[in-house]
Amino acid sequence: MRNLCLVLASCSALSLMAGCGGSSKSTPAPNPIVSSGSNVAAIEVNTGPPASGVLYANGAFVSVTVCVPGTTTCQTIPYVLVDTGSYGLRLVSSGVLTLTLPQEMASDGNPMVECVQFLSSYTWGPVQTADIEVASEKASSLPIQVLSDSDFTVPAACSEPSGGASADTVANLGANGILGVGQLPQDCGSNTDCPITSNQYFSCASATAACTAVVATVAQQVQNPVALFPTDNNGVIIELPAVSGAAATVSGSLVFGIGTETNNGLSGATVYTADPTSLNFTTTFNGVSYTDEGFLDSGSNGYFFPDSNIEQCQTSSGAGGFYCPSGTVNLSATNQGTTGASGSVNFSVANAVTMFTDDPNDAAYAYLGGPASDYFDWGLPFFYGRNVFTSIEGKTAPGGSTPYWAY
């Protein structure tokens, strides 16, 4: 079974759980892929955790080790989605996380609980503290979100803007968790308190009490773990081989740091500086400039962009939310950073229903795309065959002011 949930992260789009197929397989990549080093974690594009009951399309997964702070009581959790469009570690509680972690408290002494709203779903659950390790990189006493609808009552201010759909189980999320390695050091931005009006952090007196929105200080917020690594903490590189059509699985690397080691230099990558407010750049497509509305998001499982000339799939087809052209459509767009660097990108979109039918068990799809309103989301298909750099706001990195993307 396949499922699609197009969701919107705090500053970019994140698309989860979808599927299509195709008969052609991956081809050797022109980009070098680092496979070893203390700052290198193996990632794999596969169909996700078997317990989900769905086949995940274009999801890059990594394993994360979580420990009770300051102890050797640890658990390694596989099938955690690598997402450059969000910030922080979020793990499903039920059936996944077995550790008992310390609870973060709001200023009134009640447990701190977080809501992250997406376009058509939400995540809800307590903020707890953990030591985490990915590859040999470690972050200590890190606030993370533990996803659960049962620990505390979900307030309407969290669920209603997202249509009431929870993504707090493996079945709904299609993953055991999300590792947000995007451009911010914490999920409300650099040195910025989350205000009450954001309806993101709540104080919950008990499991059944009504939760109240509260201010979350920078230290209380869910943190991007990369920013807290002792070294290699200014960004990440996602390195995946090229895919021609589709592939059953794809193996690659998540490399921590930019220009901090011999294996993570920028090399000849072009830097696209992001707007400091939107965290996006400008994408021009079909003569329309989506100013500060273009972004690179490994958590999105396709190219999502507006094009009324491409037929959309019928919901009843099982591929609703994707494009279904009569044949493969070859397209081109131009990305431009705020400091002027620009470059064109050629990409293709094929019929999702046809790909479903041809090979429904594949995980990687180079030509998967779908409609969007007024933004251009370069999802995981963009990452195939490229080394894609994501720098973190406020950190020093080669290539100029952060945050930026480079490829």
Give the pLDDT means over successive 10-residue stretches in the chain (407 positions): 38 33 38 95 97 94 98 98 97 97 97 90 96 98 97 94 89 97 92 93 97 97 98 98 96 98 96 96 98 97 97 93 97 96 97 89 96 97 98 96 97
240 within a domain of the structure (yes/no): no
* 182 and 273 fall within a common domain: no
Q: What is the pLDDT of residue 22?
A: 30
Dist. CA 5–CA 119, nearest whole Å? 9
Tokens of 137: 């990189």
Quick one: residue 97, left, alpha or beta (phi over 0 = left, psi -120 to 50 = alpha)?
beta
* 299 and 208 fall within a common domain: no
State yes or no: cis peptide before 102, omega within 30 of 0.
no
258 within a domain of the structure (yes/no): no
* 183 and 283 fall within a common domain: no
Q: What is the pLDDT of residue 162?
A: 78
Tokens of 401: 């002011």
* 178 and 279 fall within a common domain: no
* 119 and 190 fall within a common domain: yes
96 within a domain of the structure (yes/no): yes
* 183 and 305 fall within a common domain: no
Torsion of CA 249, 181, 8, 204, to 10 degrees: 120
248 within a domain of the structure (yes/no): no
Tokens of 289: 């400039």
247 within a domain of the structure (yes/no): no
Residues 350, 227 contacting (CB under 8 angstroms): no
User: Last residue of a domain, which of 208, 228, 248?
Assistant: 228
* 315 and 221 fall within a common domain: no
Q: What is the pLDDT of residue 5?
A: 37
Q: What is the pLDDT of residue 26?
A: 36
**Which of 126, 139, 165, 120 is closest to 13 using CA atoms?**
120
Dist. CA 156–CA 164, nearest whole Å? 8
Q: What is the pLDDT of residue 30?
A: 64
236 within a domain of the structure (yes/no): no
Query: Residue 102 belongs to what domain range?
Result: 5-228
* 181 and 275 fall within a common domain: no
* 224 and 271 fall within a common domain: no
Percent of the chain with pLDDT over 70: 93
* 341 and 194 fall within a common domain: no
99 within a domain of the structure (yes/no): yes
257 within a domain of the structure (yes/no): no
Q: What is the pLDDT of residue 191?
A: 80
* 209 and 318 fall within a common domain: no
* 271 and 224 fall within a common domain: no
Specify the 3-state DSSP secondary structure of 341.
Answer: coil
Residues 85, 182 contacting (CB under 8 angstroms): yes
Domains contained in the chain, number: 2
Amino acid at 155: P
